[in-house]
Amino acid sequence: MQSKVSMVMPCYNKVKYIGEMFDSILAQEWNNIELILVNDGSTDGTREVIAEYEPKFRMRGFEVIIEDQLNAGVCAAAKAGLALATGDYICMVDSDDELDPQYVSTMAGWLEENKDYDYCICDAVLYTGSGTSKEFKPSHFSELQTEEPLYTERYILTDIRSEVWVYLVRAEYLNKCKIVQTYYTDTKGSHEPGYIIPLTMYHGKYKYFPLALYHFNVGDIGHSHHVKFEQAQRFYDEYNRLAKIAVSHLPESIADFNKKQQIMAVSLLSKHINLYRHAKGLSDGHPYLTQALDDLVETINTVCVPSTPITRDDLIGKEELFIRAVKNKLLNVPARDIPITSNSRIIGYGALGKAAIALIPLLKHTPIGPTELWDISGDGEAVKKPDFHSLGEEDIVLVFPKAEQVLSYVKESSSAHVIGAEDIKLYLSHYVKENYLS
């Protein structure tokens, strides 16, 4: 017989979407599900949809627990639901998203067969629209390795998936992490730090599935999507505060004082990275940009402690490189080795494209600053036409276009060392790290 999976769903004013989430739960291939619905004081008809679907869930063979509470926020709703769970495995889902039919069976099935694993993580896809008019697009995050010694830091820096919905956890491990006992409820902000920080810090063994088993509805603007800078500032201030609370609850045996300080510093850095990006990207962000940049500079100096403090002038025009350089330093990302010799020509291919226009000035004073520029639209002089037959094994070709087919074509056309756009950025970020942050 299948083990029981407790699925906890906080529900608040999602009448437009919750029916489709319920349909995706009914379509699950796993049969032994305890569905815990915490109605957080909905006023838009969500509670009526819950009542409509309750008999459908029971007919499907699922257990159903409905908990009604006054509106207290997602953290309070999540804690209430987790406290009611009686399953062998536990997951949480959002009421306006959807699940792949194999969401539960893939992860619970793995835990059934692999008793030494504590939890599973799946990937996700973004969608807009509803019914047959849905449009899907991938959600780009770095993949998890089999073991991540800095998992918590990667999560805080949003380098990997950062939502509770993609985790399915063995109940005994959830209890070991004391998540329900330490869950904060004095906020209507995010509940992710209170769940993911202990989950990742207790060193449980996990299985990552690079499968889009969870479907995020991005057509509805939630609390973590911002259209105004001050809204973003409130969110990231609160997120940082909640991360500190979650870290402070970790016992000394799991994280000593120095480790806690390290994680809190990473959280502060993540806050200022996000606020800088919002100040730059939001229509009302420009008045906040100078302060956001100054705060980012101060935080980088505090967290990385370079021998010579960086200045805002160091960052201007290289902000994203510095952000990536700081992440590389904190996460111990290895440098990209580029075998340069005294006989190497360094060719910039696709030199008239947008990526090249952004990257070539940054490469100018580095060891891989292009000595020749090539482009099929070149004038034959300042920018030459491509001549792959002239390339030797010691030459290096920097391919600026991001398209994989372009990179593959250049690799197949020469015996030179071919470096793609992402590796160029990685090289630049390490150059910044070595020259500014050491």
Q: How far apart are CA 375 and CA 326, in angstroms?
A: 33
| pLDDT tens readout for residues 164-173 | 999 999 999 9
| pLDDT tens readout for residues 324-357 | 999 999 999 888 788 898 889 999 999 999 999 9
Here the tokens at position 247 are: 């870290």
The pLDDT, as a whole number, for residue 192 is 94
| pLDDT tens readout for residues 245-299 | 999 999 999 999 999 999 999 999 999 999 999 999 999 999 999 999 999 999 9
Q: How far apart are CA 374 and CA 381, in angstroms?
A: 10
CATH superfamily of 5-217: Spore Coat Polysaccharide Biosynthesis Protein SpsA; Chain A (3.90.550.10)
* DSSP per residue, 284-316: T-HHHHHHHHHHHHHHHHHHH--SS---HHHHT
Domain ranges of the chain: 5-217, 229-331, 346-423
| pLDDT tens readout for residues 36-85 | 999 999 999 999 999 999 999 999 999 999 999 999 999 999 999 999 99
The answer to pTM > 0.75 is: yes
Using alpha carbons, list the distances in angstroms from residue 15 to 12, 40, 42, 144, 291.
8, 13, 9, 34, 40
Handedness of CA 220, 225, 227, 230 (dihedral sign): positive
Helix (H) or strand (E) holding 10: strand 5-11
Provide, rounded to the nearest whole percent, the portion of the chain with pLDDT above 70.
98
CATH topology for the 346-423 domain: Rossmann fold (3.40.50)
Residue 203, judged by CB atoms within 10 A of its CB (0-12, 13-18, 19+), counts as exposed
Amino acid at 302: T
Here the tokens at position 31 are: 């049969």
The pLDDT, as a whole number, for residue 223 is 46
